[in-house]
Structure 1
Amino acid sequence: MRVVVWLVEGTWPACVDAVRRHAPQATDTVLLYVDQHDVPGLAHGAFAGLLGRARSEADPGDRLEDLDAPAATRLLDAAAERLGRPCTRLERGGRPEREVVAAAAGADLLVLARDGDRSRPGPHSLGPAGRFVVDHAPCPVLLVWPEPAPEAGPPPSPPGPGVH
């Protein structure tokens, strides 16, 4: 069984714990971190544009690039230690939602955490990236709450007659 686990800062422990709890027989676990290369690029652009005129300071985009690689390695190392079994660590760069879907090709299970409004259950508990992954994943998805799930009140009323 091949399991891909999408690791995101702040929510990754819940995903790793879900694999330990729900996929103990997994023989191939892939811990996936996606580096958004656009963040340093935005800083470079801002500095070179309006903020960088007639300034002698260093480009903040360079510092962001320097900080990013060790942070990804630390996160992958911490996740592997928490998992407590052999795994593959995979770091990709690009648009997270597309990289996650691509990495899940051939997997038996994809594990990810809710990335939207986590104060109540419902469709808004998924942000745009999470929604894209859930909608386009090429395998079954295990969607976890990164913290205890909020109280689920009564479900919404069904639509009225003629509403689809």
Structure 2
Amino acid sequence: MKVLVWIAEATWPACVDAVNELFAGQEEVTLLAALPGDLAAQATGARTGLWGRGSGRDPGVQVTELARESTRAMLAAAAARLGREAAVVLREGRVEREVTAAAAGADVLVLARDGDVSRLGPHSLDRHTRFVVDHAPCRVVLVWPGRVPGLASIPPPPPEH
């Protein structure tokens, strides 16, 4: 069985722990992180928009390389926490599409809720995660990155008319 684990900054420990708990056998595990492909353009645009005409050194390349280094370190920490052999993949592009495309080769995708995790409901998924959950071409294991809110966190039903 091929298990793909989406390693994202705030939620990766919960995903790795879920893999260790649910898939302790001979599965082939891949740890995947995805960076937005337009980081350099965003940094350049922000610099131009906030600081005038943009003269001087463009920070776009440096911002992108710092993001890559940070993501590689996060992937290394995830691999260490996993405690067994795993492939490590860093993709760049539209995050939700990169994760969905990578899931095409997996039997199971493990990812975590990353929105409002203070209550149960659809807002517990941000837009990228919602896209991946809705479009994943494999089974999905969706984990809570911490304590699961109680049923009392569900809003009351609308009044009947």
Q: TM-score if structure 1 supplies the norm length? A: 0.88
Q: Work out whether 1:73 is the aligned partner of 2:72.
A: yes
Say how many residue pairs are matched: 161
Verify the 8 A CA contact 1:2 1:26 in the aligned structure 2. no
Give identity over the alignment, percent.
52
Aligned to 1:33: 33
Alignment deviations for residues 50-91 of structure 1 (CA, whole Å, 9 cap, x no partner): 6242644x3222321231121111011110000001100011
Q: Distance in 2 between matches of 1:26 and 1:18?
A: 15
Aligned to 1:128: 127
Residues 68 and 160 of structure 1, relative CA distance in 2, 3 Å threshold: same
What aligned pairs does 1:46-125 form with structure 2 within 5 A after superposition? 46-49=46-49, 51-53=51-53, 55-56=55-56, 58-125=57-124
SS of 2:106's equivalent in the other structure is: coil
Structure 1 residue 156: deviation in Å? 5.2
Q: Distance in 1 between matches of 2:42 and 2:66?
A: 15
**CA RMSD, Structure 1 to Structure 2 (Å):** 2.1
Verify the 8 A CA contact 1:3 1:26 in the aligned structure 2. no
Q: Distance in 2 between matches of 1:84 and 1:36?
A: 28
Aligned to 1:24: 24
SS of 1:120's equivalent in the other structure is: coil
Residues 38 and 96 of structure 1, relative CA distance in 2, 3 Å threshold: same
Structure 1 residue 34: deviation in Å? 0.2
Verify the 8 A CA contact 2:14 2:145 in the aligned structure 1. yes
Structure 1 residue 154: deviation in Å? 7.0
SS of 2:43's equivalent in the other structure is: helix
Verify the 8 A CA contact 2:119 2:153 in the aligned structure 1. no
SS of 1:69's equivalent in the other structure is: helix
